[in-house]
Amino acid sequence: MGPLRVAIGGLGTVGAAVADILISRKDLIAARCGRQIDVVAVSARDRSYDRGVDLSGVEWFDDAAEMAAYADANVILELIGGEDGIAKAVCENAIGAGRHVVTANKALLAMHGTPLAQAAERANVAVGYEAAVAGGIPIIKALREGFAGNGIFSVHGILNGTCNYILTTMRETGRDFDDVLSEAQELGYAEADPTFDVDGIDAAHKLALLAGVAFGTEVNFGAVHVEGIRHISADDILFAEELGYRIKLLGIANRTDPGVEQRVYPCMVPMDAPLAHVEGVFNAVVAEGDAVGTSVLQGAGAGAGPTASAVISDIVDIARGMVLPVFSVPASKLTRAQTVPIGSRAGPYYVRLTVLDRPGVIADVSAALREEEVSVEALLQRGRSEKGSVPVVLTLHETVEANMQRALARIAELDTVVEPPCMIRIENL
């Protein structure tokens, strides 16, 4: 078979790392694929910038969308990013011209995954996106191939390294969120605009893709309930430790009788759960299947090397002739799942209140909980305050979220509760 010709759209750290690996490990990769893989074209804004890769002899395009349509290539890599605009044009042009697409772009696929999958399958080309979810962890391959004999009923995990780094550092140092975020930005671990990461949107993009491939459902980013980590305080992290939990931002997708649950929120996981020990920038994904049982995959979620490694695994699949349905079943067979609203969640909860330190406060809080049939498991108060207010922590037995929310609204109205309640779900994974 002749060489597979690859065109790279976007030569940032990931694009340059992909080019470097494809060029410097040409013989190894050719031996694994049974054919050579040649980088034949690239597109990036600045031709003069030294990326540490020898691109002599490679055709240069100023416009990646034009490259996708006209380069003499079999595979177009979209490593530009963004949920629309040039990234979408690159993928559409590539598919329109009958070329395979490999992308690391979770936002694009979370928004347009189903129509792109339909177009790709009509054109009999692949859309590879291993790099879009949890970087170097081969979770798409695991779900689509390794677990193909299973009914998957849950896929969940730590999908954002920035949040996991911040929560880990808060726990290790006792510092507050804002302080740790600023330092993470200075060190380059967090973006100057951290919104996508710390507000849970990046994890939600990834979760929407995981749910699609795990359950064979249309990708539905709009159905993901999303909460970030800005409201988590150093106190919450300490109380979590005391109660035997760690706080993690999780993406959780469950297939249940009423439909599909897709949720991203910070939650407490028991100290003995594998996810509690995934720290720093690492990601981990847990898949639960009816044949395989529980499988945990852990690894680097981002960075040039791990992301490039995932991109190249997709290119190698294409070189070997593998063109799989994008989301594990043909796009025409993807089902439209009923969304299970967050109000239906049933589980235990942690609530931290800031209350005036005077008699009767706990009675008022208990009355609000009783009215909504929320049952207290434990109550913690540490010390007395000279400022007049103290944190009081409650854990609540399994409760339906709608009841919990109504109870919290009642509690927030009490004169003796001086700050909005902080609620964190407990996930006994």
Catalytic residues: 206
Smallest separation (angstroms) from ligand HSE to the CB of 202: 5
**Among the candidate windows 116-124, 149-157, 158-166, 325-333, which touches ligand HSE by CB under 6 A?**
158-166
Tell me how far CA of residue 191 lies from CA of 23, 172, 184, 231, 315, in angstroms: 30, 22, 8, 19, 28
**Cβ 385 vs Cβ 351: under 8 Å:** no
Alpha carbon distance 279, 247 (integer Å):
11
CB closer to ligand HSE out of 157 and 289: 157
Least distance between ligand HSE and beta carbon 223 (Å): 20
Q: Which of 113, 157, 161, 421 binds ligand HSE (CB under 6 A)?
A: 161
State which residue, 162 or 395, has the beta carbon closest to ligand HSE.
162
CB 25 within 8 A of CB 37: no
CB of 159 to ligand HSE, least distance (A): 7
- CA–CA gap between residue 330 and residue 91 (Å, rounded): 19
Provide long-range contacts, Cβ within 8 A and 24+ apart, for 58-61: 61/7
Site for ligand HSE, residues 193 to 222, rule: CB under 6 A: 197, 202
Q: Which residues pair with 396 in a beta bridge?
A: 349, 376
Phi, psi (deg, nearest 5) at residue 163: -65, -40
Judged by CB under 6 A, the stretch of 8-16, 52-60, 140-148, 155-163 that binds ligand HSE is 155-163
Complex with ligand HSE: residue 162 or 168, whichever CB lies closer: 162
Cα-Cα-Cα-Cα dihedral of 12, 14, 16, 22, to 10°? -160
To ligand HSE, the closest distance from the beta carbon of 104 in angstroms equals 8
Residue 115, H or E segment:
helix 106-122
Q: Which is nearer to ligand HSE, 313 or 405 (CB)?
A: 313
Question: Which 282-301 positions form the footprint of ligand HSE (CB under 6 A)?
Answer: 301
Q: How many CB atoms lie within 10 A of CB 336?
A: 11
Residue 236, both tokens: 């919450």
349/351 Cα distance (integer angstroms): 6
Q: Measured from the CB atom, is 299 or 421 closer to ligand HSE? A: 299
CB of 304 to ligand HSE, least distance (A): 11
Task: Give the range of 20-28, 64-72, 76-84, 154-162 binding ligand HSE by CB under 6 A.
Answer: 154-162
Question: Please, what is the minimum distance in Å from the beta carbon of residue 343 to ligand HSE?
Answer: 29
Q: Does 170 bind ligand HSE (CB under 6 A)?
A: no
How many residues sit close enough to ligand HSE to count as binding (CB under 6 A)? Answer: 7
Closest CA relative to residue 252, chosen from 218, 213, 286, 212: 286
Among 74, 93, 105, 162, binds ligand HSE (CB under 6 A): 162
Measure CA 276 to chain center: 17
Instruction: Work out how close the CB of 301 gets to ligand HSE at its nearest, in angstroms, rounded to a whole number.
Output: 5
Cβ nearer to ligand HSE, comparing 43 with 160: 160
> Closest Cα partner for 331 from 155, 207, 212?
212
Binding part of the chain for ligand HSE, among 49-57, 157-165, 255-263, 328-336 by CB under 6 A, reads 157-165
Task: Find the angle CA(238)-CA(134)-CA(314) to the nearest 5 degrees.
Answer: 170
Binding site for ligand HSE (CB under 6 A): 160-162, 197, 202, 301-302
